[in-house]
């Protein structure tokens, strides 16, 4: 069943899979799940619509045969899904797969050791500010920066290194936190990544004027630090990497708005209810759950995956100016970041 690498219409080879395990989150970040939309009476997907861990495991095996070498668990907040460590342990048996998780960090302190023991390789933590007032504004008033930092420390102690810290920069909100964050994570074992505020989904009221461009982020950093660029670790790496000439630590800048990187995109995404998406900015996906639950053989599902990737034409970020107006896009909390 496995054969040549999956290649799309632009020659991009599939290698990375993102699995969303829940559409719920305990934060209400305005750029992802704004509280006025995702209110207490918001109707999330019923749990019976979620892919079971058995179904997710089956898909992981099929995508592994299709060339997957990296699996990232996303959400929503993935640590809200019970028994996640058991699922990680089940796919850890694929010894050549790198398993990572993206989390807001609020529950990480209580789970870090269990996740590591289950076979998790790496963790990425979203943290948009160290200042507690700004953090509160950007998390919807939930948790605290101190609690997230406690989770990060627990991940370090558990050996989940290197730890990536993702910071979304939104003008008028947290650009004054760029240098404090850089200083806090300027140490071995950490990679701080600054992310341009993106127009994901249709509920975050995105405005181009609120984007702090990568060039401005870099200028701010260079006012305080002597940086030198680094080569990508692999083809398709989304962050432009830099190191401090004096001292240790690494930063990255992800510039989907001003410096699109569609030409090397190697990622597929599975939503919590089993739809296959080939772009973060997609309008809709291909339903794999129906095939899973209607008795399709592995060969049939594999062909569905292969056929979906082979006709892929996604270049949303490169075509943003002509495509964005009026286009419906799935929410990040549903598809995973």
pLDDT of residue 70: 96
Confidence (pLDDT) at 317 = 85
Packing angle between helix 145-158 and helix 132-139, nearest 10 degrees? 90
Residues 6+ apart with CB under 8 A from 154: 108, 109, 110, 112, 113
| Residue (of 124, 60, 53) closest to 97 by Cα position | 60
Tokens for 221? 């950093």
Q: Which domains does the chain have, with CATH numbers?
A: 16-335 (3.20.20.70)
Mean pLDDT by 10 residues, the chain (337 residues): 84 96 96 94 96 97 96 97 98 93 98 98 98 97 97 98 97 97 96 95 90 97 96 85 92 94 94 96 94 97 97 87 63 84
User: In the structure encoding, which two tokens stand for residue 158, read together?
Assistant: 């558990």
Q: Are strands 275-277 and 286-287 parallel, antiparallel or unpaired?
A: antiparallel
Tell me how far apart the alpha carbons of residues 244 and 251 are, in angstroms, rounded to a whole number. Answer: 8
Residue among 143, 72, 69 at smallest CA distance from 109: 143
């Amino acid at each position: 069943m496995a054969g040549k690498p999956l290649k799309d219409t632009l020659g991009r080879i599939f290698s990375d899979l993102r699995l969303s395990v829940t559409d719920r989150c305990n934060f209400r970040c305005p750029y992802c799940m704004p509280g006025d939309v995702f209110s207490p009476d918001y109707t999330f997907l019923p749990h019976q619509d979620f892919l079971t861990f058995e179904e997710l495991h089956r898909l992981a095996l099929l995508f592994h045969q299709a060339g997957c070498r990296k699996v990232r668990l996303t959400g929503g907040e993935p640590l809200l899904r019970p028994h996640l460590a058991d699922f990680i342990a089940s796919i850890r048996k694929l010894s050549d797969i790198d398993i990572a998780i993206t989390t807001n960090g609020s529950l990480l302190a209580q789970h870090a050791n269990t996740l590591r023991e289950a076979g998790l390789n790496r963790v990425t933590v979203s943290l948009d500010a160290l200042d507690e007032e700004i953090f509160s504004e950007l998390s919807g008033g939930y948790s605290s920066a101190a609690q997230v930092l406690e989770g990060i420390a627990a991940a370090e102690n558990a050996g989940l290194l290197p730890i990536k810290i993702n910071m979304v920069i939104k003008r008028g909100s947290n650009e004054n936190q760029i240098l404090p964050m850089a200083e806090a994570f300027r140490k071995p074992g950490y990679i701080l990544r600054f992310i341009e505020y993106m127009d994901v989904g249709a509920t975050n009221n995105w405005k181009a004027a609120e984007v702090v461009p990568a060039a401005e982020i870099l200028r701010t950093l260079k006012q305080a630090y002597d940086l030198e660029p680094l080569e990508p670790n692999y083809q398709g790496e989304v962050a432009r990497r830099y190191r401090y000439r004096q001292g240790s630590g690494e930063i990255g800048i992800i510039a989907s708005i001003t410096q699109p990187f569609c030409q090397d995109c190697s990622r597929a995404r599975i939503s919590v209810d089993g739809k296959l998406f080939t772009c973060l900015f997609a309008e809709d996906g291909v339903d794999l759950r129906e095939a899973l639950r209607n008795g399709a053989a592995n060969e049939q599902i594999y062909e569905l995956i292969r056929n979906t990737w082979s006709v892929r034409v996604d270049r949303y970020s490169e075509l943003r100016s002509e495509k964005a107006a009026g286009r419906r896009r799935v929410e990040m909390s549903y598809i995973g970041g």
